[in-house]
Amino acid sequence: MFIIPIRTVQIVLLICIFACRDSGFYQPVTKFDPARDAAKDISAAVNEAERTGKNVILDVGGDWCIWCRRLDQFFEQNKDVSDYMRKNYIVLKVNWSEENKNEAVLASYPKIPGYPHLFVLDAKGNLLHSQDTGLLESGDHHDRDKIMDFLRRWAPHR
């Protein structure tokens, strides 16, 4: 029986991880990060949407934004809603903060009245909808029915 040393297995796994990372596999952007290149991230998300037949949701906001955190919490607490979203959309966090307002990228979209703000793109990168998330709220929380209606309305037709 041939036994492979654990160190060899670790090295092979690390090589595979780095090879996959650099070989074009899509890596979701799940955090608001002022250091990211939003134009490059949007391009990658659109490519992945085209490959998978999904639409793209650009979630524009920042860690400073209480309603951005509440929206994230909503999806964490409503697994069926987040599953539906992942099934139909590539979701990309686009930072807007004092450190990086991503003005050049966001200038090509409608004006944002408040944060978080959602833009829905088709698999070619065309803007389908600009969503003020305040309209998806009820009182001090996000409304499950309003969010599901929004997601269903803008999901790709398969």
The pTM of this model reads 0.84
Is the distance from CB of 90 to CB of 154 less than 8 angstroms?
A: no
Q: What domains sit in the chain, N to C, each tagged with a CATH number?
A: 28-154 (3.40.30.10)
The whole-number average pLDDT for the span 133-154 is: 97
The whole-number average pLDDT for the span 98-105 is: 97
pLDDT tens per residue across span 30-51: 999 999 999 999 999 999 999 9
Whether the per-residue pLDDT at 83 is higher than 70: the answer is yes
pLDDT tens per residue across span 16-29: 455 444 446 899 99
The whole-number average pLDDT for the span 133-146 is: 96
Exposure of 119 by Cβ count < 10 A (0-12 exposed, 13-18 middle, 19+ buried)? buried
